[in-house]
Structure 1
Amino acid sequence: MHTRLVDYAALTATQQQHVSAIEVHPEQLPFCGDMYCALNSLLAKPSPGVKGFALLADDFPVAFLLLKRPPCLPHWADEHSATLHALQVDRRQQGRGFGKACLQALPAAALEAWPQIKALELSVDTDNVAAMGLYLGLGWVDSGEAYKGRVGYERRLRWVFGRATVDTAEM
């Protein structure tokens, strides 16, 4: 199966409709939110500091994520980074490696969108064991700092360009 991470703006109307139907398992909602909120933050007040990306598997949307840059960065992020938000793999597609495929394609997509960035950053709830394992397993580095987030304590993870490469083997 061929996967690729595509800017939401480049999707066809049918693909955008399929993105809006992406759902996660109810227990994942506190960690990533739902698609309505993710698309609302992308489309309600368009900003050059927010981009949405869909992971296409054979041209069908199976996952979605947001990237943010100034002026939309969270308070904990470095101004030279882009931050990852709302990573959602459709519940009907989970367990097939699509979250990993998103993260593997993310550095190239982020640099294409914003060539000046030096790193990617994210914040992940410490109780989200699956996500922590995925990020750390792909080379994201824990900053060592935790802070009180919406659900519980969150860790900040960072991917620095030029430090290492992500395995981009196709799924």
Structure 2
Amino acid sequence: MQTRLVPYETLTAAQQQQLGTLEIHPEQLPYAGDIYCALNTLLVNPSPGIKGFALLADEVPVAFLLLKRPPCLPHWANEHSATLHALQVDRGRQGQGFGKACLQALPAAARLAWPQIKALELSVDSHNEAAMGLYLHLGWVDSGEAYKGRIGYERRLALIF
């Protein structure tokens, strides 16, 4: 199976429609939101500081994520970074390596979008052991700091280029 991470604006109309049907498990909604909210963030008030990316598996969207840069960076992020948000893998495709494929393709996609960035950053719930394990395995570094997020305590991780 061929996978590739592509900017949202390069999707065909059919792929955009398919992406709109992406669903995650209900217990993941408080952390990643749903595809409607993610696409709303991207499309309703377009900003050069927000870009969307879809992971295609054999040309079918199976995952989506957002990247943010100034002026849309969260308060905890370094101004020379892009931050990862709303990473969603379709519930029927979870556990098949698509989240890992997104994260592996992300540095190149982010630098293509914003060549000036020096790192990627993200915030993850401190109790989300599966996500923490994946991020750390792929080279992300825990800042050692936790802060009170919307749901509970969150950890900041960075992938420095």
- Where 1:29 maps in the other structure, the secondary structure is helix
Q: Which one-letter code corresponds to 1:36 in the other structure?
A: Y
CA RMSD of aligned residues (A): 0.5
Q: Which one-letter code corresponds to 2:160 in the other structure?
A: V
Aligned counterparts, 1:83-122, within 5 A: 83-122=83-122
- Where 1:131 maps in the other structure, the secondary structure is helix
What residue in structure 1 maps to residue 21 of structure 2?
21
TM-score with structure 1 setting the length: 0.93
What residue in structure 1 maps to residue 59 of structure 2?
59
Q: Which one-letter code corresponds to 2:73 in the other structure?
A: L
Q: Which one-letter code corresponds to 2:23 in the other structure?
A: E
What residue in structure 2 maps to residue 12 of structure 1?
12
**Counterparts of 1:133 and 1:24, CA distance in 2:** 20
* TM-superposition CA deviations, 1:62-81 (whole Å, max 9, x none): 00000000000000000000
- Structure 1 residues 14-23 or 84-93, which shifts more? 14-23
Any stretches of 5+ residues in structure 1 without a counterpart?
162-171
Displacement of 1:102: 0.1
Displacement of 1:156: 0.2
What residue in structure 2 maps to residue 41 of structure 1?
41
Q: Runs (4+) of structure 1 moved beyond 4 Å?
A: none
Aligned counterparts, 1:121-140, within 5 A: 121-140=121-140
What residue in structure 1 maps to residue 70 of structure 2?
70
What residue in structure 2 maps to residue 167 of structure 1?
none
Q: How many residues align?
A: 161
**Counterparts of 1:120 and 1:148, CA distance in 2:** 21
- Where 1:92 maps in the other structure, the secondary structure is helix
Displacement of 1:20: 1.0
Displacement of 1:36: 0.7
The percentage of counterpart residues that share the same residue type is 79
**Counterparts of 2:114 and 2:103, CA distance in 1:** 17
Aligned counterparts, 1:150-169, within 5 A: 150-161=150-161
**Counterparts of 1:133 and 1:20, CA distance in 2:** 29
**Counterparts of 1:34 and 1:135, CA distance in 2:** 21
Any stretches of 5+ residues in structure 2 without a counterpart?
none
1:81 aligns with 2:54: no
**Counterparts of 1:121 and 1:128, CA distance in 2:** 16
